[in-house]
Structure 1
């Protein structure tokens, strides 16, 4: 009987709804799961879907130094399975901080005790490294879902990325853009790279055709208030619309380091009655916000530190719900926001173009209804969590992979 261990840096994490959706779909498909978290959550609010997760959660203790850390490593040395492997692996582990080595050993012991047959990690950073350590110490194979910061950020260690991905049973890319990037950076490692989009529980996102735009135009945006989300360009576009006499109301949900800077920009532009920063919202409230809006804006940009969005789940949710999307051509977004068909696609940082696109929805020159219906069809074709769960289960339990839905592109797989 297969038992899958999910390795996550933090669980539960408010911003990672895609992980909970994936776990719920896999449980619904009959998979036996366990969750291993490497850091305690610091979130004060949680999405209600977390209460539906049945998998047991184990927090792998972290010992930065001292006797406790040594006790963990010594315990691994004494294990008949882990001990010989640990001695062989020490030269490679010397590159890691001691607390990570300790956590890796503790995770390995938990994997053996819980009879885990396969590990599945999200992000090729801490969670990926710990899954790699536990796999090497136990012989239990692991798959790895890569996202964005873990493969693009300036802090990414190329040698460790290649080592982890080269040893993984499979490396999952969440967009074709990421797949192409991984093919380049992992060339020569033998990594097996497969495309599998993050997905949605479609039943929770019922489609409603857009109505004529409100006056003022309602615009929603959701995400962490950080550089890569590009919300300062949305504020700039709003100022352009207001200056041209076009009424607009913008609501931005999320929290982050740039909250004060964004509020200062809003105040300086005299937009306090036009742009609201709502703070973090649970997923059910985000859904209500997206339904409220005439347009959903995702003005993403590459950060100066290399940080960049992957394929924001909330964009997929907006498309599923029937709210037209305006987004920028960053990483995987052009794979879903097809300009003029499933939404409006702009170049990153084009605040003038964003203002123009929003004005088009306000005056009815953008084909909102046709875009919304085409967007929903695309989501149903490529982003169904039930199909995602069956695919992941087949990859991790050695069963035959399901055929793609009619009209859907076959899942890509290459060896780098």
Structure 2
């Protein structure tokens, strides 16, 4: 059984890729989602996953009879009292409607648990892991965690430590997250590092030679691309300010792919900065459409930052995707990004929240097509030698198999 916060989601292709990879590796999965889908599009990989999906009550008041029936049935389970005590303790630190919701969702999951499922694996160590931890206490079913980025860095140390001690093991996808979780775990050997990688069959080598524009020709602007939800941690406002300070003599065009809550603020900002006639906001696209944009672009840019609440990316999949198409990338020195890119060798990296530095890096990449070609070549080599998703699937399957050999 795999517990997800929402499914399917356009922004979580790495999870869908992992689910399909585990199925192909011989594991039988059932999916449980805490939220129903909100994206209007789907990636092709979602249609290839065979596992059945069950949806928990997103809000308890929407399905009160289902929740009450589950709570009534769970009261007789051996671990229910222990789960209640844990819930009461958690309430002292987090007195919120969300905390009640997580316990109610856990009761539903425990009550409706399929008899042939013997393991619970959860993606994200924040709210989904709370549901999983309560479910584990109620049922005794062993559980494990895949932790990523926001879920790690916006959770308190007490919360993370408790979940790490309760779970059989946890895996995360950046060295920075790995070190942080290891420091919080009583048993450091329970925390594992495994990079997601890419399904390279979906991102085959791009054979065509890239253009050599240097921004000097108004009829041949350098095409800059960014992909990702418009949220604060993506630093799209920083990118816009960086574009606005490029020399007026440079000719470029910027395309952003993705939805997000910040778009209503970013579009007026682009207008205020005098950039609107050089920008296209496409909205969300599926993976095949995004691949075509990688291949048409000259440069990829993502100005990732750490927000005031600690939220940040790990190693954004879109950077690895862009690199797989020998597309030169400009980004920032945070989280797992420097674990993939080395500044000046296979990408250009600047400090986060520094629009002036980001602008200088963009200018360098725009005006030096030979540099773009060298960086793109080196980045693609890094992807194809070290970031094949089959490695992470093999590692994850091995972790499951090691635990299945232990007594429950």
Q: Would you say same fold, with TM above 0.5?
A: yes
In 1: Cα distance, 2:191 partner to 2:314 partner: 16
2: CA distance, partners of 1:351 / 1:202: 33
Equivalent residue number for residue 182 of structure 2: 183
Tell me how far apart the structure 1 counterparts of residues 165 and 336 of structure 2 sit (CA, whole Å). 23
SS state at 1:300 partner:
coil
Residue matched to 2:117: 116
> What SS is found at the alignment partner of 2:276?
coil
Q: Are 1:371 and 2:370 an aligned pair? A: no
Select between 310-319 and 165-174 the one with higher mean Cα deviation.
165-174
Counterpart of 2:70 (choices 66, 69, 72) is 72
Alignment of 1:393-408 (within 5 A): 393-398=397-402
The answer to whether the 8 A contact 2:67-2:108 is kept is no
Secondary structure in structure 1 of the residue aligned to 2:384: helix
Sort the Cα spacing of 1:190 and 1:108 in 2 relative to 1 into closer, same or farther, 3 A: farther
Deviation, 1:137, is: 2.5
Q: For 2:345 and 2:358, how far apart are their aligned partners in 1?
A: 17
The alpha-carbon deviation at position 360 of structure 1 amounts to 2.3
Counterpart in 1 of 2:22? 26
What TM-score do you get using the length of structure 2 for normalisation? 0.89
Q: How does 1:74-93 map to 2 (within 5 A)?
A: 74-78=72-76, 83-93=77-87
Counterparts of 1:298 and 1:251, CA distance in 2: 12
Map residues 8-407 of structure 1 onto 2, 5 A cutoff.
8-62=4-58, 64=60, 68-78=66-76, 83-94=77-88, 95=90, 97-111=99-113, 113-153=114-154, 156-184=155-183, 186-188=184-186, 192-208=190-206, 211-214=210-213, 215-241=220-246, 243-364=247-368, 367-398=371-402
Contact 2:302-2:332 within 8 A present in 1 as well? yes
Q: Greater RCO between the two (CA within 8 Å, min separation 6)?
A: 1
Contact 1:36 1:58 (8 Å CA) reproduced: yes
CA contact (8 A) 1:253 1:281 kept: yes
CA contact (8 A) 1:85 1:137 kept: yes
Measure the CA separation in 1 of the matches of 2:66 and 2:23. Answer: 35
| Other structure's SS at 1:36 match | strand
Summarize the Cα distance change of 1:68–1:30 in structure 2 as closer, same or farther, 3 Å threshold.
closer
Offset of 1:276 from its aligned partner? 1.9
CA distance in structure 1 between the aligned counterparts of 2:20 and 2:171, rounded to whole angstroms: 19
What do the CA deviations read for 1:156-188 (whole angstroms, capped 9, x no partner)?
24322211111111111210011122233x144
Structure 1 unaligned blocks of 5 or more: 401-416
C-alpha root-mean-square deviation of aligned residues, in Å? 2.0
Question: What CA deviation, in whole Å up to 9, does each residue of 1:210-251 have, x standing for no partner?
Answer: 52333311100011111111111211122222x431001010
- Aligned structure 1 segments of 4 or more residues deviating by more than 4 angstroms: 65-68
Structure 1 residue 353, shift from structure 2 partner: 2.5
Alignment coverage as a number of residue pairs:
387
The worse-fitting range, judged by mean Cα deviation, of 260-269 and 246-255 is: 260-269
In the TM superposition, what is the alpha-carbon distance from 1:190 to its structure 2 partner? 5.6
CA contact (8 A) 2:153 2:310 kept: yes
Instruction: Provide the TM-score with structure 1 as the length reference.
Output: 0.87
Distance 2:14 2:257 in 1: 17
Q: Do the aligned partners of residues 298 and 114 (structure 1) sit closer, same or farther apart at CA in structure 2, a change above 3 Å counting?
A: farther
